């Protein structure tokens, strides 16, 4: 079933990538930098890509906040089973998180790296305060940032729930943000 989902997502991802590039081509980055200077300053730069929020948008990327997640196998079919263990104040771009996760998994394919489907043990990325990050949540920083983020979060949510960037299901888009909100509350 996961393979079938992955094949269906290939076209979805291609369409979203085209939409994102068209959207970015219509943005005036100088105007956005002036308009959102305070937000860009407050969030700062991604610890890994060293890009600020607007530079990330220019590269079809988006800022996230780090998470520690526990993913039982049931999360593959039902994203509400994903458990948000902790929320960390580390800002990272979505692509940096996925790149770091891929690098870590290539280096150590065992469940020790990503935590597998059992325990919230693992470390795909190390945060600013040495926290073990195994997930990320995209942020709404300003409307243009969110327009890019919402078109690119599918691989992130797919990975968080299934350990496969192609494992996205529409239910993840509506469930994962509320799981993070519930943990934050």
Alpha-carbon gap, residue 128 to 31, rounded angstroms: 30
- Per-residue pLDDT in tens (0 to 9) along the chain, 185 residues: 667 777 778 888 888 889 999 999 999 999 999 999 999 999 999 888 899 999 999 999 999 999 999 888 888 889 999 999 999 989 999 999 998 888 887 776 654 544 455 555 567 777 777 788 888 999 999 999 999 999 999 999 999 888 888 888 889 999 999 999 999 99
Write the DSSP string, 71-135: --GGGGT-GGG-EEEEEEEEEEEHHHHHHHHHHHHHH--SHHHH-TTT-S---SEE-TTS-EE-E
Q: What is the per-residue pLDDT for 126? A: 74
**What pLDDT does residue 55 have?**
93
* CA–CA distance, 64 with 45 (Å, rounded to integer): 11
Domain that holds residue 19: 2-184
User: Which among 150, 167, 154, 10 is positioned nearest to 73, based on CA atoms?
Assistant: 167
Contact (CB, 8 A) for 65 and 90: yes
pLDDT at res. 101? 84
The reported pTM is: 0.85
- Give, for 63, the enclosing helix (H) or strand (E): strand 63-70
Contacts of 27 (CB under 8 A, 6+ apart): 57, 144
**Number of domains into which the chain is organized:** 1
| DSSP 8-state class, residue 28 | -
Sheet holding 83-93, edge to edge: 83-93, 63-70, 135-138
* Residue 9: predicted pLDDT: 80
Residue indicated by tokens 């996230």: 64
Using alpha carbons, select from 83, 105, 91, 70 the residue that is nearest to residue 176.
Answer: 83
Distances (CA, A) of 93 to 49, 52, 69, 177: 7, 9, 17, 17
Which pLDDT belongs to residue 113?
46
């Amino acid at each position: 079933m996961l393979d079938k989902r992955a094949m269906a997502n290939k076209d979805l991802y291609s369409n979203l990538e085209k939409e994102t590039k068209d959207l970015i081509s219509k943005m005036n980055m100088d105007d956005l930098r002036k308009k959102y200077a305070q937000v860009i300053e407050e969030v700062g730069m991604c610890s890994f890509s060293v890009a600020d929020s607007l530079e990330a948008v220019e590269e079809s990327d988006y800022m996230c906040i780090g998470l520690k997640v526990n993913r039982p196998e049931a999360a593959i079919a039902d994203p509400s089973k994903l458990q948000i263990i902790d929320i960390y104040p580390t800002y990272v771009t979505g692509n940096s998180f996925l790149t770091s996760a891929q690098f870590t998994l290539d280096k150590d394919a065992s469940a020790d790296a990503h935590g597998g489907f059992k325990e919230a043990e693992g470390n795909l990325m190390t945060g600013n305060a040495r926290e073990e990050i195994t997930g990320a949540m995209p942020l709404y920083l300003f409307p243009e940032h969110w327009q890019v983020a919402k078109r690119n979060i599918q691989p992130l949510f797919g990975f968080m729930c299934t350990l496969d960037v192609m494992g996205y299901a529409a239910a993840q888009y509506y469930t994962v943000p509320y799981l993070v909100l519930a943990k934050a509350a």
